[in-house]
A and B are shown apart, each in its own frame.
Chain A
Amino acid sequence: MNPDMSVDELLNPRIHIVCGKGGVGKTTVSAALALVAARHGRKVCVVEVDRRGSLPKLFGAKSPSYEPSELSPGVWGLNVLQEEALAEYLNVQYHMQRISRVLTSSHFVDYITIAAPGLKDILVLGKIWYLEQDRSADGKHYDFDTIIVDAPAAGHMAAFLSAPMGLSDAVQVGPIRRQSDWLVEMLQDTARTVAHVVAMAEEMPVAETVATSAALHDRLHIAQGAAFVNGLYPKIVGASAERAVEDGSEARDGLIRAGALVNLTLDDGDLDALADYARFLSSRRKIQARHLRALRKGIDQPILKLPFLFSSGIALPEIEMLADDIEQQALEL
């Protein structure tokens, strides 16, 4: 990626695939990226794959349906269920409505999954292709400028994205074969698709992010945008404050006097607690910095740092904050 990447460059191709290990905050990053795009006047659709609808909750909206629905101004959401993608495919291609109740039973879906590994993934990616081509099953035109895919967790991610390339030999002909060729083109075209990795500054997530990034490059040949690192403790306490509060420090009395000036009475116990929290913050920050260095060594793309949120949950205000952070850092890159 260009070193003088601006927000426009970050949002450049239409399809953004957000990848990472489970629990690192892919959905949060997808939502924040969607807000950034919407702020820049783009009509965005976030595609979740087989989720329980955590994304709409972030926007305070109801669970999204199989077709796009607007979650907040300019941001649309869509939950693609593999079972539904399969049912839709059978109905459209083979007019199987008649016995489709049986065909969408879990055993049949299991059967197809085993018989043709990767088929479900191709159908889900196909749904994204249809969105990109602005051909939806309900006949409406959405005309999305940006499509953000909240990809399945890392374990399944490679299989998901490589499905069109490694389709079982059995499926060499027919509509599925044709479609997988289109999907490979879509995913590998740098003007159409970019992948972003999401990590946390911890040992395992960093190791997995490096592996994911390598897989995207070496095996999947998908262009990469930024690496997002979630949950970084911000520098709330400066070095001089950290030193001042230490037990035995001369500056400690100064802190007590400063409190007294605003009618805040602090005893030694209070200051000990302040010191403990300052030390805890600094030790966590040191550990995170170490893992961040390891990540930087392991990947080539620019790193966007997102803060640990000291809040009771993640909702729109928090996503707005993260979107601010992304915008600001994209300008500085």
Chain B
Amino acid sequence: MNPIAEITGHKEIIVCAGAGGVGKTTTAAAIAVRAAAGGKKTVVVTIDPARRLASSLGLKELSNEPTQVSKRKFAAAGLDLKGELHALMLDTKSTFDEVVLRYAPTEQQARRIIANRFYRNISGTLSGTQEYMAMEKLYELHAGGAYDLIVIDTPPTRNALDFLDAPRRLTDFLESRVLRWFLLPYVKAGGGFMRFANVAAVAFLRVVKRIVGGSVLDDTAEFFANLDGMYDGFKARARDVAALLQSETASFVVITSPAEESVLEATYFASRLNEAHLAFGALVVNRVHPRFGDGSGATPRQQARLAQGDEAARRLAQLLDNEASFMRIVRLEEKNLKALARKVPRHRWVHVPYLEREAVDLDGLAVIAAHLFA
């Protein structure tokens, strides 16, 4: 059975992962379109701020809450819609605010954190925050129980594995002992330097104050003071999210191109999923150069003679040159993919060839879905 069809039929969560620029968002959207058409109440979550997903679904824009794609749009594309399709684009900042509101002991404390300038900078600057919030949104949508299937794409990181490690980076940072030890004198003294604080910490605070200014230090102190007592909530939730991803209900789709770096990343990712006890659902190989036959086997000498011959010979030389060029790429891609086959069994593979059109609308997504589910 086609692996994409299999997991779409049986799972509640599909996470699309892969290096940047290999077609993650489009794959996620195409899977969701097909699942919705087939009768599932589906939501697709995108991290990519590109407007293209919205417009390809016929929506003006996406927000942090699901927007439904109308049945009319499906009908216009000649698709029968038995289920429902909703789409949302992750807003890291609002999702983080929701998390703070949930774990703060009082609403007042949450409001103080949300208004804090140091806090406001976190979601835009600390790497890992976006990944953490993506997982948070996923958990929330799943716990809400409103959907049969959630398809989520992962942030466009340089390294496809970042989203597995990143949530921990945020919680580690918030909990950092070293940082708190250095900031402690400042926090304890309510913004002033404690007289008997350790020497290194005071030196540190002086430098920070010189670089970023005293008001930022005040903001930091207030932020960490307000955050006290919320770590357990963060950590418990992070554990719940990890358990959900490891459960029977979730499956991962890894998207790759046949290019060497992309394949290396996918190979490494496949083994990491394994180690982390995450279910590998399918491998999507995008944009493979097609193989037509085994090559005509012309020697360079024959080619050279043809290139200097009459008109028919020169035409043939061009055609042979073209074939040889593509065959070189085809063989190279095959070699790259063979290495990947050692990690991921072929029956988990799905190929999407070079297509004439890009997926700019529901029609285009349906064409990609036809290949994904073939």
Contact = CB atoms under 8 A, between A and B. Distances in A.
Interface in A147-177: 153, 155, 168, 170-172, 174, 176
Interface residues of A, number: 70
Contacts of B325: 236, 310
A186 interface: no
A258 B322 contact: no
A182 interface: no
A114 B296 CA distance: 60
B11 to A, nearest CB: 28
B83 to A, nearest CB: 28
Interface residues of B, number: 68
B126 A114 contact: yes
A96 B289 CA distance: 54
A241 interface: yes
A274 B20 CA distance: 33
A90 to B, nearest CB: 7
A60 interface: no
A310 B326 CA distance: 7
B105 interface: no
A115 B118 contact: yes
Interface in B271-313: 289-290, 292-293, 295-298, 302, 305-306, 309-313
A202 B316 contact: no
B306 A258 contact: yes
Given A102-B178, A262-B302, A277-B292, A203 B204 contact: no
Given A107-B173, A115-B219, A244-B312, 5 more contacts: A96-B207, A107-B179, A241-B314, A262-B313, A264-B296
Interface of A: 21-23, 90, 94, 96, 98-99, 102-103, 105, 107-108, 110-117, 119, 153, 155, 168, 170-172, 174, 176, 202-204, 207, 236-238, 240-241, 244-245, 251, 254-255, 257-259, 261-264, 266, 269-270, 272-278, 280-281, 283-284, 287, 310-313
24 contacts: A102-B182, A107-B178, A108-B182, A111-B220, A115-B212, A116-B211, A170-B213, A172-B213, A204-B52, A238-B315, A255-B316, A262-B302, A262-B313, A264-B297, A270-B296, A272-B293, A273-B292, A273-B293, A276-B292, A280-B289, A280-B290, A281-B322, A310-B329, A312-B332
